[in-house]
Structure 1
Amino acid sequence: MTAPTPDEAASPTPAAVLSVSDEALADDGYRAAVVDLVAAVAYGEISAFERLAEDAKLAPTLADKVELGSMAAAQLGHVTELRERLHALGVDPFEAMEPFREPIESFHRHTAPSDWWEGLVKAYVGDGLAADFYLEIAGFLDESTGDLITRTLTDVRHSEFVVGRVRAAIEADPPLGGRLALWGRRLMGEALSQAQRVAADREALIALVAGGVDRPGLDLAEVGRVFTRLTERHNERMGRLGLAF
């Protein structure tokens, strides 16, 4: 998934400064939450690979096709390390990913781009929102797993390509900006709904975020701040694309 750039992820959120010892993996509940999060990210990368490879067919030039194909390859490249982590946790990676298949694919069905430009905006904005959500949860993980999730979701080398192409297209065709701004709003709503569904359906993730006697969690006020941060980052990405939001 196209995620925040290293600069975007540089400032830790309140969740990200929390630390959980590797010893926590001995706890079945915590371990189940780690499996869920790693599996969700892994399937998200597989899904992003498929979608970007498909969107490359819409590319107006051969150079654009190659660039999007390179983005797809980068997503698939992340999956190997995530699968290895799931193996190390003693689970079958594909079985662990299966519960996330439908909610992630449902998001993509509801946000299928109608053209090349919508596909580019989705690759940058929509996937960035999903990455932000998982990065918030990653702040509750043991150091090795948290580092893996953060590294996976901030390893982005193609953001400037998307930003440059979209901004140039809007400059050449100003009405396109209005359509893509509306598309960005739709992506925002769908992504937040997906994040809420994923969290609500996985009891281990809820328990992880809620905390316990051995670690802090999020109270209702902090949950609200998390979604505020997600919205703010989305608006920043829209601004970089030259889209009013």
Structure 2
Amino acid sequence: MTDSPPGVVDLLGVLAYAELTAFLRMAEDASLLAPTLTDRAALGDVAATEYGHFRLVRDRLDSLGADPEQAMAPFTEALDAWHAQTRPSDWYEALVKAYVGTGIAGDFYREVARHVDASTRELVDQALADDGRSEFAVERVRQALAEDPKLNGRLALWARRLVGEALSQAYRVAAARPELAVLLADPAEGVDLAGIGKMFAQITEEHGKRMAAIGLTPGA
């Protein structure tokens, strides 16, 4: 049994499962959607990195005396639902999901980690390290938009759907796991779902910056 502060095992559990599912989905997208072997290998490399991050978090759970399987279990339904609702239909949607979707998730986990111990925050930062994912996706999507500007509208709508579904599932998780929700609140004020909503609004602002970086302009 772990003696970690309340919420830490929940944080590590949801992060571990997020990294595991990211690996599995990216590997599938690389196999089914990549137009060239070079692209397949590139996304496969990103997927392998995600698996390394999963192992990092899993090993920390082990070191805390927590069962990784049990720690991840409460979050499988929400994360599986997000992936099911945001299954990309082509290569460019897969790239946008790898960049935008994972970025939104990272913002959420970093926000949760603000209120845990320094060692856990450092681990979360390691597990969320970009490791070239942004460069890989941005380069290919920007090139595609330059060759076919009509892609912008469809991919911008896709990115908006990704963030909407991600925030919906994140709110669901926070509301259902009180110890995790505590980490999203100001310790002086206690758990406040309205305050959590404001935090999600800030995450949405960060999404706008990612849209600009990847070259997507809403309404274009």
TM-score, normalising length: structure 1: 0.82
Alignment of 1:73-222 (within 5 A): 73-210=48-185, 212=187
Partner of 1:46: 20
User: Structure 2: how far apart are the matches of 1:174 and 1:52?
Assistant: 25
68-77 or 199-208, which moves further after superposition?
Answer: 199-208
Partner of 2:210: 237
Deviations 1:19-71 (A, max 9, x none): xxxxxx85xxx634100000100110000000000000211111101000000
Task: Give the letter aligned to residue 227 of structure 1.
Answer: F
Deviations 1:158-213 (A, max 9, x none): 3111101001111111111110011011111101101101111112112333455x
User: Structure 1: how far apart are the matches of 2:193 and 2:82?
Assistant: 26
1:154 is paired with a residue whose SS is: coil
CA contact (8 A) 2:16 2:57 kept: yes
Identity %: 52
CA contact (8 A) 1:209 1:217 kept: no
Task: Give the letter aligned to residue 204 of structure 1.
Answer: E
In the TM superposition, what is the alpha-carbon distance from 1:84 to its structure 2 partner?
A: 1.7
Moved over 4 A (4+): 215-222
Task: Give the letter aligned to residue 159 of structure 1.
Answer: S
CA contact (8 A) 1:46 1:79 kept: yes
- Which consecutive unaligned segments of at least 5 residues does structure 2 have? none
1:130 is paired with a residue whose SS is: helix
Task: Give the letter aligned to residue 169 of structure 2.
Answer: Q
User: Structure 2: how far apart are the matches of 1:190 and 1:71?
Assistant: 22
In the TM superposition, what is the alpha-carbon distance from 1:110 to its structure 2 partner?
A: 0.4
User: Structure 2: how far apart are the matches of 1:224 and 1:59?
Assistant: 36
RMSD (Å) for aligned C-alpha atoms: 1.9
In the TM superposition, what is the alpha-carbon distance from 1:127 to its structure 2 partner?
A: 1.2
1:112 is paired with a residue whose SS is: coil
Task: Give the letter aligned to residue 118 of structure 2.
Answer: E
197-206 or 153-162, which moves further after superposition?
Answer: 153-162
CA contact (8 A) 2:61 2:68 kept: yes
User: Structure 2: how far apart are the matches of 1:217 and 1:134?
Assistant: 19
Task: Give the letter aligned to residue 45 of structure 1.
Answer: E
Partner of 1:7: none
User: Structure 1: how far apart are the matches of 2:214 and 2:77?
Assistant: 30
CA contact (8 A) 2:107 2:203 kept: yes
In the TM superposition, what is the alpha-carbon distance from 1:102 to its structure 2 partner?
A: 1.1
- Which consecutive unaligned segments of at least 5 residues does structure 1 have? 1-24
Matched, 1:36 2:17: no
C-alpha distance 156-127 of structure 1, shift in aligned 2 (>3 A): same
User: Structure 2: how far apart are the matches of 1:91 and 1:123?
Assistant: 29
